[in-house]
Amino acid sequence: MGGNPKFMQQAIQLATENVTSGRGGPFGAVVVKDDVLIATGSNQVTSSNDPTAHAEVVAIRNACAALGTFQLDGCDVYTSCEPCPMCLAALYWSRCRTIYFGNNREDAAKAGFDDSFLYSEVTKPLEERTIPILCLLPEEALESFHVWDSSPFKVNY
């Protein structure tokens, strides 16, 4: 199993306190490095009017700010619930070491947070998705990548 139960307990406590305080949904996350708490996050979607302010994303932002980096190499993330597709992608982009979760996606669905639509949507070809996704000005858009390739500010990640 691995992981440190005390950090999962903190993520769960954040989730519960987030609900009882009226700040948001029942989700909490903590970022840990070398068995030291680096940052926390709780769901702030409704309190901040930000659909991306899920607990994991907030925790990633806070941890990166605390560490002064855009990657969480060597960090473990404890989240009260299995990450949704957006959070899972953000966690992968963060390059964290391990993701531990409490509730699973079925538990979330029973509580009214059903992400099954998103899980199925991302596997569909673009032309079959619910929201139209259309390519526009691809040749012009490539210019940004050409500039990036030769930029002295380029940072590989």
Q: If DSSP states are collapsed to H, E and C, what string results for 72-129?
A: CCCEEEEEEECCCHHHHHHHHHHCCCEEEEEECHHHHHHCCCCCHHHHHHCCCCHHHC
Instruction: Give the pair of three-digit tokens for residue 108.
Output: 């979330």
Q: What is the Cα–Cα distance from 109 to 115, expressed in whole angstroms? A: 7
Instruction: State residue 50 phi and psi, 5-degree precision.
Output: -130, 105
Judge whether 56 counts as a catalytic residue: yes
Catalytic residue selected from 17, 56, 139, 143 = 56
Give me the active site residues, please.
56
